[in-house]
Amino acid sequence: MATSFHLQIRRACEARKIHGTSLPVRGGRDLRPDMTVVFLTVFLVKVCDIKVLFYFARKLFGHMLARLEAVGHHGDHHLRRRQVEQTEGTTYGKKCTFQCKEPAQLVGSNNTLTCMEDRMWSFPAALCELRCPAPPPVPNAVLQTKRCNATGLKVGSFCKYKCKPGYHVPNTDRPKRRAFKRQCTEEGSWQEGACEPVTCERPPPIFHGMYQCTNGFKFNSDCWINCNSANHTGPTTNVIRCRKDGNWTGSFKVCPQLKGQCALPQNVSPSMRLNCRRGHGIGDECELNCKDRNNNVVILPGNMTAESVMKDHWWNPDKVKSIVCTMGLKWYPQPETLHCIKGCEPFMGDNYCDSINNRAFCNYDGGDCCHSTVKTKKVIPFPMSCDIREDCACLDPNAQENIKGGRHRTLG
């Protein structure tokens, strides 16, 4: 929790310079350079013709230390004068004021220091504290914390939310999780939060190209197959709906009047083998394997080759184990889109960065090539000659190193 912190100044009112590293005031404790504070702001105070620039910590509770610098007249160009209130002087009874820099807010009404009879500045009755406004609403979420409807919430404050039925928190370890929190950050803003529609699984591939949906596979979307007329676009009895729990209300049925077989697969890559044990009828599958057992069958776009996928680490094509003869008497996936690429070595997550696995297709060697994701927090290339700036570099776009650097790319 953020705590109040009062500006404390130690020097006689007539002092011309500030020496030392602590600044107490009457009734207060010393401000030491190793004290952590809770504001993200800049204080400018003019005391005895000396401008004192306080750099307050940018992060809370030990993330950075407060720094204090005394600047004379020659350092005026470093100061933002719009933050400074002019002092009346440095003798008894004279006053000096301070103000906060946004987004910090002044708590209290009196931001004036007075030179007292004991040659000490008076204890300030106001302080600067970083606060957040009321958090903006999150679409498809309900705010659960009542106090978060008000403004002026302290840094570190949490607000709880719950996604509406049919929506869930994206990118979490627990699928379909609905509850989440947002926190007031040291920048005076709120952490992001989102609720995405629940999605149902794609219907079995036998129905590929034969159904229509009102909203894809998202919550409340209706999908249907019309067995009577190819030109009719409205729902029929062969209808399923995506429920809020991510399951369909039922399953598609093969239209009973459809008969026939798919033609023999054409344009099959010479690097693959097909095994159609059951035949080529509707719903029959042909197993796929690469002639090289160390390779995997994947779907590639028409303009991509197996070589280009291996060259660009961010590609993560879908693996395919079989093709199926659909109700439309076509093979799915289309055989001409299937290719064999180098598979992953069975050494992912073993704390050694293997260059052959350092790609999205192999989950970047199970995290072994980045300090933030390897279990030991130390990257060890294998072999040792592997260059950590090239083949064994930290390439995972979701690793902390690349998120901070703003380098983020997801394709495939």
Query: Is 233 or 48 the better-scoring residue by pLDDT?
Result: 233
Q: Note whether residue 178 is domain-resident.
A: yes
- Residue 72, pLDDT > 90, answer no
What is the Cα–Cα distance from 398 to 408, expressed in whole angstroms?
A: 7
Phi–psi pair at 335, nearest 5 degrees: -55, -35
| Residues 6 or more apart in contact with residue 412 via CB below 8 angstroms | 314, 315, 316, 317, 360
| 67 and 123 in a common domain | yes
Under 8 Å between Cβ of 401 and 381: no
Final residue of a structural domain among 88, 107, 130 = 130
- Residue 148, pLDDT > 90, answer yes
**pLDDT at 240 (0 to 100):** 95
Can you give the residue range of the structural domain that contains 366? 353-404
Please give the mean pLDDT across all residues of the chain: 76
By three-state DSSP, how is residue 269 classified?
coil
pTM recorded for the entire structure: 0.59
Q: Note whether residue 51 is domain-resident.
A: yes
Q: Note whether residue 212 is domain-resident.
A: no
**CATH number for the domain harbouring residue 177:** 2.10.70.10
pLDDT-based confidence at 22, cuts 50/70/90? Answer: very low
| 5 and 99 in a common domain | yes
Under 8 Å between Cβ of 45 and 140: no
The CA-to-CA distance between both ends of the chain, in Å, stands at 43
Instruction: Concatenate the DSSP letters of all residues of 169-223 into one string.
Output: -SS-SSTT--EEEEEB-TTSSBPP---EE-BPPPPPGGGTTS-EESBTBBTT-EE
What is the Cα–Cα distance from 205 to 161, expressed in whole angstroms?
A: 37
Query: Is 245 or 73 the better-scoring residue by pLDDT?
Result: 245
**Mean pLDDT across 131-135:** 87
| 160 and 146 in a common domain | yes
**Mean pLDDT across 371-386:** 92
pLDDT tens per residue, range 302-332: 778 888 888 889 999 999 999 999 999 999 9
| Residues 6 or more apart in contact with residue 142 via CB below 8 angstroms | 161, 162, 163, 164
Pairing of strands 158-163, 179-183: antiparallel
| 88 and 167 in a common domain | no
Burial of 134: CB neighbours in 10 Å, binned 0-12, 13-18, 19+: middle
**pLDDT at 306 (0 to 100):** 83
- Residue 153, pLDDT > 80, answer yes
| 69 and 7 in a common domain | yes
pLDDT tens per residue, range 163-222: 999 999 988 777 788 999 999 988 888 999 999 999 999 999 999 999 999 999 999 999
Query: Is 13 or 356 the better-scoring residue by pLDDT?
Result: 356
